[in-house]
Amino acid sequence: MPRRTTDRVEDAAAWLLCTMGLLSLLGALVAGVGVHSVEAEHGRIESAERRLVQGVLLESVPYDLSGGETGPQAPVAVATRFVDLRGVARVAPVEVRGPMEAGTSVPVWVDRSDRVCPAPTGPYRAVVAGVVVAVTVVALAGSILILGWLALRSVLGRANAVAWGREWERREPEWTGRTVRRPRADGDAGWEA
C-alpha cells in the first residue's frame, strides 16, 4: 500500500475513473444500438409507405458549372413524367444529379398519396447514425474523464510539492550537518541553535 495519503487518493481515483471509463463504453454501446434500432425502424416504415416508379425526364440536365465535369453534381429539380400507383400520368419536379438528357429514365419515389418524395432511408444510415452516437459518447466521456484525471493530478502534485518542501526543511539539516536557527521557545528575543 502507498504510504502517502495523496498516493492512496490517486490510486482510488484511478480505479474509479477506469470503472467509469468502462461504464461509458457500455453506455456508448447501448446508445449506439438504440439509435441504430430507431433509424432502422424509421427506414422500414418509410419503405412500407413509399413505392418506386419509373419516370422520364422532360428536360436535359447539363453539367453543373460550379462543380465542373469531374466535380460533384448538386441535385437539380427537373420536370419528370411518371405514372403514379393508380395509373394516372403525372408531371412533377424530381431531384436528379446530372448530366442527363431529356427522355432518360429515372427512378421516382412516391408516397401513398402519389406525391414525389425522397427515397426511403437505407440500412447504411442506421449503421452510420449508431456509430456516430457511440463514438460521440465515448469521446465526450473520455474527455471528461481525462480532464478530471489531469485536474486531480495537478492538485495532488501541488499537495506533494508542499509536503516534500516541509519534509526537506526537517531532513536537510541532518544530511548537511548544518544547524537550523529557530526562534527561542521561551519567548525571549533571540535565536537558539
Contact 6, 163 (CB under 8 A): yes
Same domain, 37 and 63: no
Please give the helix or strand (H or E) that residue 133 lies within, else none.
Answer: helix 123-176
| pLDDT value, residue 56 | 93
Instruction: Supply the range of the domain harboring residue 74.
Output: 51-118
Whichever domain contains 73, its CATH number is 2.40.50
pLDDT at 3 (0 to 100): 76
User: Tell me: the pLDDT tens digits for 44-98?
Assistant: 999 899 999 999 999 888 766 555 555 557 788 889 999 988 888 999 999 888 7
Task: Please give the pLDDT value at position 193.
Answer: 52
Boundary (domain end) residue, out of 76, 91, 118: 118
Which pLDDT does position 135 carry in this prediction? Answer: 97
pLDDT at 5: 86
| Claim to verify: residue 33 and residue 55 sit in the same structural domain | no
Q: How many domains does the chain have?
A: 2
Cα separation, 144 vs 137, in Å, equals 11
- Residue ranges in the chain whose pLDDT is less than 70: 1-2, 63-72, 179-193
- With respect to residue 189, please indicate whether it lies within any of the assigned structural domains: no
58 and 77 both lie in a single domain: yes
Report pLDDT for 136: 97
Same domain, 107 and 55: yes
With vertex at residue 135, the alpha carbon angle to CA 132 and CA 136, rounded to the nearest 5 degrees, is 80
Peptide bond into 118 cis (omega under 30): no
* Inside any domain, residue 182: no
Q: Give me the pLDDT at residue 68, please.
A: 53
